Structure 1
Amino acid sequence: MPRQDQFGENINLKKFVKKLIITLAFGLVLLHPPASSQSVVYDILLAGRSVGELTITPPRSGDGADHFRVRGAIDTFLYDVVYVSENRFENGVLKTSMSSQEVNGKLKEKTNTVQTTGNYRVTFAEGNSAATETTQIPHPINYTVTSLYYREPLNMKQIYSDRYGKMCSVQKVATGAYEVMMPDGKKTLYHYSQGQCREVKSQIAGLNLIFRIRPDSVAR
């Protein structure tokens, strides 16, 4: 009998150890989220030369809202530019948006968008000047230029420009390719594969500007 009890105890001990290992392994999976929860990085190419990078922060959900953040840094011979855009959505509707641009360490422009009763209040500041209200947008905003880096604009006709504080048109030109007409009259082309933005093409002063996703940021 004692030997049988010991045998039974050994079996129970093995079962306990097995469950403990499984529990710890599951805990490690939770502590180390999949690659899709990591930042997505794009190389910025100007006229074929690398001049910086664009970092897309993983979407963050909290306080009943979804948060998006994009940060771009460009370093050229003459200019050091840092661009930041942040969105806050609730139930798919934009609540607040902030877009700022610094050149050589000094604020060049900043746009804030806040949803109020029945419309959006948009304020714009240039340099160190006081912010001025530029316009009011009456209809709900469900998609922004920042959103383009987080999801493909399926069936979208218009999106909101965080920087300019205006709506701009979207047109599907090929499978996974969308042309956005920016408020300044420039066209930007966004390419998607499996729902992920892989490349963005635009122009600055007649030079090709490309945002190309790094291989280690491509969704598997």
Structure 2
Amino acid sequence: MITALLIWLFKKYGRPFFYQHKSFFNQFTIPVKRLSVTILFVALSGLAFGQEQTLNYNVLHSGHTVGHMKLQQRKDGGDTFLNVASDVKMKFIFSIQVCIREDAHYSNGKLLSSHVSRMVNGSQKADKSTKANGESYQLTDGSKVSSINQKQINNNLTLMYLQEPVGLSQIYSDNFQQFVKVEQTGSHTYRINLPDGNYNFYTYANGVCSRVDIHHSLYTIQIQLA
């Protein structure tokens, strides 16, 4: 009964009053609407920006900075794109400059394709790609083409910079084009044994890789989060 009375009162007195003073109310409602649209646009822009992530690293040898590495991740719906660029210049008997470019594309957690390019003193030493092909992956190493009988690859070494490999026993190496062993050696620290006899240690902090210790038969270098 009270509800019906309120509706009747609004129709008889409230609605005529509102239309009579419509221009007055518009002075407030229009700016509020515009403000709401602006806030929504800023929020959506922030969400889009949040889909991109960049990590910068310093490369050190014997305590001295000898290069830099940048990792970029971009997400677009179910697709994730990774890009790594590193430039290192060291001097042994002679100077050596190594430039490495790595790309990977995941879709809904599955690796669709990856590419590794390595230049040493201006000469290309590696040009390798991995591409999903039905129930397997096609591997390209220069002019050599082969395949790996693997239906789905969910993690590769590039992704290790962004995700701690908790519970993983192996991970895909785009450079060696095969799975390599993952061994946890301490709190947030993992060892990767490589097919050439070398090995790396990955250490994590706040969910991302903060340091990589690369142990090569000829040298040892560190990659540290800047």
Q: What is the TM-score when the length of structure 1 is the normalising length?
A: 0.81
Tell me if structure 2 keeps the 8 A contact 1:47–1:207. Answer: no
For residue 26 of structure 1, what is the aligned residue in structure 2? Answer: 40
How many Å separate the matches in 2 of 1:124 and 1:211?
Answer: 26
1:14 to 23, 28, 32: 28
Q: Which amino acid aligns with 1:20?
A: R
Count of residues in correspondence between the two structures: 204
Q: Please, which runs of 5 or more residues in structure 2 have no aligned partner?
A: 1-17
* CA 1:30–1:53: 2 relative to 1, 3 Å: farther
Deviations 1:6-48 (A, max 9, x none): 9764443223213322422332343355567242111111121
Using the TM superposition, name which of 74-83 and 204-213 deviates more. 204-213
Q: Which amino acid aligns with 1:27?
A: F
| CA deviation after TM superposition for structure 1 residue 204, in Å | 3.7
Q: Which amino acid aligns with 2:162?
A: Y
| CA deviation after TM superposition for structure 1 residue 5, in Å | 8.2
Q: What is the percentage of aligned positions where both structures have the same residue?
A: 24
How many Å separate the matches in 1 of 2:109 and 2:49?
Answer: 25
For residue 171 of structure 1, what is the aligned residue in structure 2? Answer: 183
Q: Which amino acid aligns with 1:44?
A: V
Q: What is the TM-score when the length of structure 2 is the normalising length?
A: 0.79
How many Å separate the matches in 1 of 2:188 and 2:22?
Answer: 61
How many Å separate the matches in 2 of 1:31 and 1:119?
Answer: 38
| CA deviation after TM superposition for structure 1 residue 100, in Å | 0.8
Higher RCO (C-alpha 8 Å, min separation 6): 1
| CA deviation after TM superposition for structure 1 residue 76, in Å | 3.0
1:44 corresponds to 2:59? yes
| CA deviation after TM superposition for structure 1 residue 194, in Å | 2.7
1:84 to 101, 105, 120: 101
For residue 114 of structure 2, what is the aligned residue in structure 1? Answer: 97
1:137 corresponds to 2:137? no
For residue 124 of structure 1, what is the aligned residue in structure 2? Answer: 141
Q: Which amino acid aligns with 1:101?
A: R
Higher alpha-carbon Rg: 2
| CA deviation after TM superposition for structure 1 residue 59, in Å | 2.8
Tell me if structure 1 keeps the 8 A contact 2:102–2:114. Answer: yes
Q: Please, which runs of 5 or more residues in structure 1 have no aligned partner?
A: 126-130, 215-220
Give runs of aligned pairs for residues 201-212 of structure 1, distance below 5 A.
201-212=213-224
For residue 60 of structure 1, what is the aligned residue in structure 2? Answer: 75
Q: Which amino acid aligns with 1:156?
A: L
| 3-state SS of 2:32 partner | helix
Tell me if structure 2 keeps the 8 A contact 1:45–1:210. Answer: yes
* CA 1:107–1:48: 2 relative to 1, 3 Å: same
Deviations 1:114-144 (A, max 9, x none): 222432222212xxxxx113x5321232111
* CA 1:48–1:8: 2 relative to 1, 3 Å: same
Tell me if structure 1 keeps the 8 A contact 2:199–2:216. Answer: no
Deviations 1:35-87 (A, max 9, x none): 6724211111112111111111123336x632221111112341221111111
Q: Which amino acid aligns with 1:123?
A: T
